């Protein structure tokens, strides 16, 4: 019996340390780590909007990201604690799919399983990938669909002929239904299409299949008007009563094709490219960058064009694709990679990181072919790399997933009187309040109003309906925050502002710090004495959730932390002005205890 069982055990062991065992180890570890680190609260940026749409129907900001939001709706019945956690769970599944697509892409361009696995580890456990794969964001789905196109277009892909052409068409349509940057994949995408058409032997039929599949992939856009028309829609950005409204949304006319926000910065192209380069090096802890360079040089310079070396034209087009989705596209972005804006910009680094990871795999392959490693050694290398990469990135993911934005909104909502109107700017506030009020149903009597959004007629109508007030129309390009404040205060509604976004309100109304907000008083009213303001703030902060440890500057949590610091700094100045030095010193100590800490060295280089 023992002699008969021995071969079976050897076979099992050989399977575990072989290519299939490597794949099982890799994707099991990614699944476990992603599942254990899901974000369960609303974060900064667009995450709050997508978390809201995980709780009900609606339309996201332009271009609507209909594929991602459709999948959010399909996942709506999954019994997960909160809409934010549900959206994060969906995104983690997409991260797993993207990792699988990257693995297949590496194989399709000539790498063996170990080299492909190393590239996937460096990609999946890069802080940027890990963070975006475990929070409500569209960028991982975009990266997964784009690298899937690279996999299908690969010279050694198993798909051939019309199947290759059709899959590329479907992936292109789905990718464009999720994020417009997928159009930048055209060089390698068209290469794969041409190869597939030639392989098919029936070019017209293959092209027709590809076109039909692309149109099928674009169908999620047809669902946007239906989602907007739902009577229980939680949030609808735009007006979809006409076809022009849908086209306006699809073309991102509110922002502009290459603009990331309503307000544009003038940013030097080399500044953007430099920030991208530093980020990509840091994301893979320099190991991936070195392998990327090795893979690129090896592919472009080798003369031994064996069966496992892609054709030179294919490699050149893949390099061009990487250049287009990376430095060329990033150089056109209109937000400066400084402070919290760098968190917005860096999401666009995920696509070049993903496509570049194919070269990382090929660079590793060039070394592994020379070493001829045993299966058990390969297994050990991959296991050790997973452990080290995850350990090195965990702290940055933890910082990204801090609940500070969500707790900030909760603190504000529990501290304001009934029927208050809160005016403020910035995405983390707009979508943070949206999530807590629309998706979680908190404080429906309170309305949050963003003056920068009042340029849009649909938003003015929404806010007029929510507040029950007659709000002023914009005068040309200007929205009068003073007129909005007058409309709110004349109706007897308490008015607060989250930040100083224009000079109009400070010049025309008295105000004072009230916890995380400023209380705006009716015209002619005087603010309380600093001692009374201090007492009020002490009471409010005693009720607040406060961070357990300081946030890092340049993050969404660091931006929120400034709102906790601000009232104590202002009180310190007020007490110093009236000669109460002891009170001023006490307020400064409170401010210092809440102040964010400097970013790590590489973050300072990115945001300098």
Does residue 509 lie in a domain region?
A: no
Residues 334 and 420 reside in one and the same domain: no
109 neighbors 154 (Cβ within 8 angstroms): yes
- Residue 604 confidence (pLDDT) above 70: no
For the stretch 296-339, pLDDT in tens is: 776 666 554 444 678 889 989 999 999 999 999 998 888 888 88
Alpha helices in 139-236 (DSSP H): 139-153, 161-178, 186-200, 203-217, 224-229
- Residue 501 confidence (pLDDT) above 50: yes
Does residue 514 lie in a domain region?
A: no
CA atoms within 13 A on the CB side of 153: 30
Residues 345 and 490 reside in one and the same domain: no
Could you report how far apart the first and last alpha carbons of the chain are, in Å?
Answer: 70
CA pair distance 495, 491, nearest whole angstrom: 10
For the stretch 28-59, pLDDT in tens is: 999 999 999 999 999 988 999 999 999 888 99
For the stretch 239-269, pLDDT in tens is: 888 888 888 888 887 776 555 555 556 778 8
Residues 273 and 365 reside in one and the same domain: yes
What would the 3-class secondary structure string for 244-275 be?
A: HHHHHHHCCCCCCCCCCCCCCCCCCHHHHHHH
Domain residues for 440? 411-502
Residues 183 and 298 reside in one and the same domain: yes
What pLDDT is stored for residue 600 in this prediction? 67
CA pair distance 608, 606, nearest whole angstrom: 6
> Band of the pLDDT at 119, cuts 50, 70, 90?
very high
**Of 400, 422, 454, which marks where a domain is finished?**
400
What pLDDT is stored for residue 9 in this prediction? 55
223 neighbors 66 (Cβ within 8 angstroms): yes
For the stretch 125-169, pLDDT in tens is: 999 999 999 999 999 999 999 999 999 999 999 999 999 999 999
182 neighbors 132 (Cβ within 8 angstroms): no
**Of 377, 400, 423, which marks where a domain is finished?**
400
Does residue 7 lie in a domain region?
A: no
Written as six digits, the tokens of 465 are 């309906």
Look up residue 219 and give its DSSP letter. Answer: G
Mean pLDDT of 537-564: 91
**Of 356, 377, 400, which marks where a domain is finished?**
400
**How many percent of the chain have pLDDT more than 90?**
59
Does residue 510 lie in a domain region?
A: no
Residues 393 and 431 reside in one and the same domain: no
Residues 204 and 101 reside in one and the same domain: yes
């Amino acid at each position: 019996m023992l002699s008969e069982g021995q071969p079976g055990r050897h076979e099992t062991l050989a399977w575990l340390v072989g290519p299939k065992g490597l794949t099982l180890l890799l994707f099991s570890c990614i699944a476990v780590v992603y599942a254990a680190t899901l974000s369960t609260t609303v974060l900064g940026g667009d995450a709050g909007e997508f978390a809201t749409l995980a709780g009900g129907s609606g339309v996201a900001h332009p271009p609507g990201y209909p594929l991602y939001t459709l999948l959010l709706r399909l996942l709506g019945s999954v019994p997960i604690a909160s809409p934010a956690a549900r959206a994060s769970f969906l995104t983690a599944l997409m991260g797993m799919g993207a990792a699988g697509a990257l693995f297949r892409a590496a194989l399709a361009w000539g790498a063996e399983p170990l080299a492909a696995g190393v590239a996937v580890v460096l990609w999946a456990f890069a802080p940027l990938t890990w963070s975006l794969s475990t929070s409500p964001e569209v960028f991982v789905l975009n990266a997964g669909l784009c690298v899937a196109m690279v996999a299908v277009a690969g010279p050694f892909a198993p798909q051939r002929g019309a199947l290759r052409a059709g899959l590329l068409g479907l992936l292109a349509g789905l990718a464009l239904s999720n994020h417009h940057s997928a159009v930048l994949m055209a060089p390698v995408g068209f290469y794969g299409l041409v190869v597939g058409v030639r392989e098919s032997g029936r070019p017209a039929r293959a092209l027709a299949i590809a076109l039909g599949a692309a149109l099928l992939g674009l169908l999620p856009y047809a669902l946007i008007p239906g989602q907007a028309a739902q009577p229980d829609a939680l949030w609808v950005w735009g007006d979809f009563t006409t076809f022009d409204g849908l086209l306006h949304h699809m073309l991102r006319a509110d922002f502009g094709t290459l603009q990331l926000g309503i307000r544009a910065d003038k940013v030097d192209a080399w500044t953007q490219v430099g920030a991208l380069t530093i980020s990509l090096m840091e994301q893979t802890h320099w190991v991936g960058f070195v392998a990327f360079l090795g893979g690129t040089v090896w592919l472009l310079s080798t003369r031994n064009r064996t069966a496992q070396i892609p054709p030179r034209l294919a490699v050149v087009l893949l390099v061009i694709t990487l250049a287009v989705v990376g430095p060329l596209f990033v150089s056109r972005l209109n937000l400066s990679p400084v402070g919290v804006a760098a968190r917005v910009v860096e999401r666009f680094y995920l696509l070049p990181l993903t496509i570049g990871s194919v070269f990382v795999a090929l660079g590793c392959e060039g070394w592994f072919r020379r070493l001829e490693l045993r299966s058990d050694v390969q297994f050990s290398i991959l296991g050790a790399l997973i452990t080290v990469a995850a350990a090195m990135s965990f702290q940055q993911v933890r910082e990204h997933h801090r609940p500070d934005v969500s707790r900030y909104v909760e603190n504000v909502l529990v501290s304001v009187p009934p029927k208050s109107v809160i005016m403020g700017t910035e995405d983390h506030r707009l979508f943070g309040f949206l999530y807590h009020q629309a998706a979680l149903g908190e404080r429906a009597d309170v309305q949050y109003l963003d003056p920068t959004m009042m340029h849009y007629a649909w938003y003015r109508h929404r806010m007029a309906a929510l507040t029950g007030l007659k709000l002023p129309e914009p005068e040309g390009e200007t929205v009068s925050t003073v007129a909005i404040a007058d409309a709110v205060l004349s109706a007897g509604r308490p008015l607060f502002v989250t930040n100083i976004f224009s000079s109009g309100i400070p010049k025309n109304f008295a105000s004072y710090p009230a916890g995380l907000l400023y209380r705006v008083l009716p015209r002619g009213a005087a603010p309380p004495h600093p001692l009374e303001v201090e007492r009020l703030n002490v009471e409010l902060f005693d009720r607040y959730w406060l961070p357990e440890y300081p946030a890092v500057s340049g993050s969404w949590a660091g931006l929120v932390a400034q709102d906790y610091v601000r009232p104590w700094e202002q009180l310190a100045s007020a007490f110093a002005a009236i000669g109460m030095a002891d009170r001023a010193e006490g307020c400064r100590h409170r401010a210092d205890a809440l102040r964010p800490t400097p970013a790590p060295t590489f973050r300072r280089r990115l945001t300098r």
